[in-house]
Amino acid sequence: MALSYIWSGFFLVGFAAALAQWLFMGDVEVFKRIIDGTFSSAKVAVMDIALPLAGVMTLWLGLLNIGERAGAIGVVARLISPFFSRIFPEVPKDHPASGHMVMNFSANFLGLDNAATPFGLKAMDSLQSLNPNKEEASNAQIMFLVLQTSGLTLIPISIIAQRAVLGARDPSDVFLPILIATYVATLVALVSVSVKQRINLWDRVIVGWVGGISAVIGGMVWYFVNYLSRAEIELFSKVASNLVLASIIAAFLIGALRKRVNIFDAFIDGAKGGIQTSLTIMPYLVGMLVAISVLRNSGVLSFIVSGFTWTFSQLGWNTDFTPALPTALMKPISGSGARAMMIDAMQTYGVDSFVGRLSSVLQGATDTTFYIIALYFGAVGIKRARYAIGYGLLADLTGVLASVWVAYLFFH
């Protein structure tokens, strides 16, 4: 319902702004620009984005299905299981909820969205079986949800695919910045909820995991800031991103060969979802891109960006990042809406521009907080979310700030 209000609001606000320009400024062309923009955006959504995206998604979903059958989820699950047992102390070690949560996060981490959602719903149902108050979210459920909203993902497939479709010179150059930004958001989510729930963050397993990963990422950023130029940082991002992705594909294939998986059949089975994914998002893309076009051609979006620019300029900040903020504002509410904002920014400012890249990082840094909470809590009948929304939005804000910072580090 919230998305319906947002979508309708885009049209009504845009038309109201156009009417005001016609009545008070004599702009007789404003309605023509709006209507022409709706037709143009609808065509772009289908012909230039959704259909070309089908090819890229077909390739990657096929490769990821090979990885899944090769046991990639199981490997990650075994790796992070000791850590999970510490941050979910209310869940018995041998309870099915532990396995479901591990599988869910493993699938999300590897970009296997289709596998992640069923695991997540099953995990929430298992956690509900441990919940003494069935209408109020338990501590374990809140920790699970807030970590979900932080959106930690190793392979942001859809974002890289969108950048490839729009003609980016190196579609994967945002891979490392997204990883850093989403890790910072996840770290803040983990620490803040752990403090709220009085979880022992000094447990040696937690310290080992969090401290080790933080040290690697922090050391890498420190080296970038002190020893590399912007051009060298950008080059490193390109090389490292492509090397990691190539290594993951190689690992999937080697694992599949070792398990005697029929690789080509596995690829075909997974690839079939590429066309379906493209067809599924097509109506959402058309709807949101047309609505955003109305806002842009009526001048409303420019007014919003100008407002952000003025506010931050008064604080003495560099304001090159403000045109990307609509993506950040939309992300907690709607993934499809934020995707449309990202595409609009890349088309308007250039896919390889600072704004285009920052929009991509913002899209990948966090997840859709309100949608996730509605889906997972609604599935088990939770009516009182307690502090889940507040801490989820804290993770979102952290992801936005980290995205802006890391984009300036890598691309500005």
The average pLDDT across 299-324 equals 86
Looking at residue 174, the DSSP 8-state letter turns out to be: G
The H or E element that residue 62 is part of is: helix 51-69
Mean pLDDT within 163-170: 87
The band of 351, judged by pLDDT with boundaries at 50, 70 and 90, is very high
Region of poorest pLDDT, from 164-168, 286-290, 384-388 = 286-290
Of residues 139 and 371, more confidently modeled: 139
Quote the pLDDT of residue 190: 92
Residue 386 near residue 373, CB atoms below 8 Å: no
Report the distance separating Cα 388 and Cα 142, nearest Å.
5
Cβ(345)–Cβ(359) below 8 Å? yes
* Burial label, 85 (beta-carbon count in 10 A; 0-12, 13-18, 19+): middle
Q: pLDDT tens-digit profile of 325-345?
A: 888 888 887 777 788 889 989
pLDDT of amino acid 241: 67
All residues at 6 or more sequence positions from 312 whose CB lies less than 8 Å from its CB, including other chains: 319, 322
What pLDDT score does 359 carry? 95
Q: pLDDT value at position 160?
A: 82
**Residue/partner pairs of 38-44 with CB below 8 Å, 24 or more apart:** 38/290, 38/293, 38/294, 40/293, 41/286, 41/289, 41/290, 41/292, 41/293, 42/286, 42/289, 42/290, 44/289, 44/347
The pTM (predicted TM-score) of the whole model is 0.76
Phi, psi of 143 (to 5 degrees): -60, -45
Residue-wise pLDDT for 72-96, tens only, equals: 767 776 777 788 888 988 888 767 7
Q: Residue 381 CB: number of other CB atoms within 10 A?
A: 9
Strands (E), 122-168: none
For the chain, give the percent of residues with pLDDT over 90: 21
Q: Residue 409 — left, alpha, or beta (φ > 0 → left; ψ -120 to 50 → alpha)? A: alpha
Query: 205 and 82 in contact (C-beta within 8 Å)?
Result: yes
For the segment 176-197, the average pLDDT, to the nearest whole number, is 92
Q: Is the pLDDT of residue 114 over 70?
A: no
Question: pLDDT digit string (tens) for 207-227?
Answer: 998 899 889 888 887 887 788
Supply the pLDDT for residue 170: 84
Token pair of 412, please? Answer: 């500005």
Please report which confidence band the pLDDT of residue 309 belongs to, taking 50, 70 and 90 as the band edges.
confident
User: Given phi > 0 = left and psi -120 to 50 = alpha, else beta, which region is 366?
Assistant: beta
Q: Locate all alpha helices (DSSP H) within 228-368, ordered by sequence.
A: 230-258, 263-298, 300-314, 325-330, 335-349, 354-365
| Confidence label for 115 from pLDDT (cuts 50, 70 and 90) | low
